[in-house]
């Protein structure tokens, strides 16, 4: 019983809390007083025009960018500035970018085992076993011994997802993970993301893939000019966007 109570308490606390976050690049005010929370197990899709600050927000959550004011907390803890605590944060937050960023001179399997063996000090056999399970989960187990360049873009992006999952992150940040892919490969990556969402992973995904948002998102967060302009369920947002800015954006992409 105590264990269950503890679990329930954790569910009610947001995994990610973003409070009044501001960020400038020189004169440019890229994040304007951003406030939102993401609960454990929640899937949030961030959409908005190019240059609206989506990537900067993702990078700030992983502390790849510093912020000027406000606070970001993961699991109740403010983002650490440096050192071991920052390394732990990076391990807890998996990140997948538009460009796959696999290590070109390592095999697919080695790409997935590298961080667990180096950072988590997992044994090679444990890391290999776990990596093969993850590669199987994303449908590329039969490519394990190949080099990344021998794989299609869709396969490489699925390896990138497996690599992020290998650290057993609490949160996955995906920044336009399908934008660099040929159209026929987009769905194979989205299917993996949908499955991840169904398995209960907390996710923040920047994507313009409305099908994914409708299938998997609990909430859509629409950004424009560094602000969160609208926050709604996918149905509310796509069927009846409230702001003129969102209506205009959707009319251009749908
Ligand atoms: P999005 O991902 O929504 O397209 P970004 O977060 O990448 O938007 O960028 C928001 C704004 O910040 C853009 O105007 C972009 O040019 C600018 N920007 C992003 N990164 C930097 C940087 N490192 N230095 C200066 N300006 C930047
Ligand atoms: Mg971006």
**Residue 203, pLDDT above cutoff 60:** yes
Q: How confident is the model at residue 3 (pLDDT cuts 50, 70, 90)?
A: very low
Q: How large is the angle between the packed helices 124-137 and 153-165, nearest 10 degrees?
A: 130
Q: What is the mean pLDDT of the chain?
A: 92
Ligand 1: which atom is nearest the Cα of residue 52? Answer: 3
> Residue 162: what pLDDT?
97
Q: DSSP string spanning 55-74?
A: HHHHHHHTTSS--SEEEEEE
| Distance (Å, whole) CA 29 – CA 22 | 8
Nearest to 107 by CA among 70, 146, 74, 138: 146
Question: pLDDT per residue over 143-174, tens digit each?
Answer: 999 999 999 999 999 999 999 999 999 999 99
Domain ranges of the chain: 101-169
Nearest to 94 by CA among 192, 182, 238, 214: 192
- Report the nearest-CA residue for atom 13 of ligand 1: 51
Find out whether 57 and 66 touch, Cβ atoms under 8 Å.
Answer: no
Ligand of minimum distance to the alpha carbon of 30? 1
- Tokens 């609490």 sit on residue: 170
**Mean pLDDT for the stretch of residues 218-229:** 98
Question: pLDDT per residue over 51-74, tens digit each?
Answer: 999 999 999 999 999 999 999 999
**Mean pLDDT for the stretch of residues 93-104:** 91
Q: What's the length of the chain?
A: 254
- Report the nearest-CA residue for atom 6 of ligand 1: 53
> Residue 12: what pLDDT?
62
């Amino acid at each position: 019983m105590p264990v269950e109570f503890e679990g329930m308490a954790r569910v009610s606390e947001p995994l990610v809390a973003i409070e009044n976050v501001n960020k400038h690049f020189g004169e440019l005010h890229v994040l304007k007083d951003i406030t939102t929370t993401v609960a454990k197990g929640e899937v949030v899709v961030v959409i908005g025009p190019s240059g609206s600050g989506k990537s900067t927000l993702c990078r700030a959550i992983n502390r790849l960018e510093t912020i000027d004011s406000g606070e970001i907390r993961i699991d109740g803890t403010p983002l650490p500035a440096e050192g071991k605590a920052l390394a732990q944060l990076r391990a807890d937050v998996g990140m997948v970018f538009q460009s796959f960023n696999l290590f070109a001179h390592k095999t697919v399997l080695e790409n997935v085992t590298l961080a667990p063996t180096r950072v988590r000090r997992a044994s090679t056999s444990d890391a290999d076993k776990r990596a093969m399970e993850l590669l199987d989960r994303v449908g590329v187990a039969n490519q394990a011994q190949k080099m990344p360049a021998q794989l299609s873009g869709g396969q490489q992006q699925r390896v990138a997802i497996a690599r992020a999952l290998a650290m057993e992150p609490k949160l996955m940040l995906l920044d336009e993970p399908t934008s660099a892919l040929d159209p026929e490969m987009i769905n194979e990556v989205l299917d993996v993301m949908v499955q991840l969402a169904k398995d209960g992973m907390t996710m923040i995904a920047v994507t313009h893939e409305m099908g994914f948002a409708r299938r998997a998102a609990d909430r859509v967060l629409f950004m424009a000019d560094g602000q969160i302009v609208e926050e709604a369920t996918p149905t509310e947002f796509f069927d009846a966007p409230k702001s003129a800015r969102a209506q205009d954006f959707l009319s251009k992409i749908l």
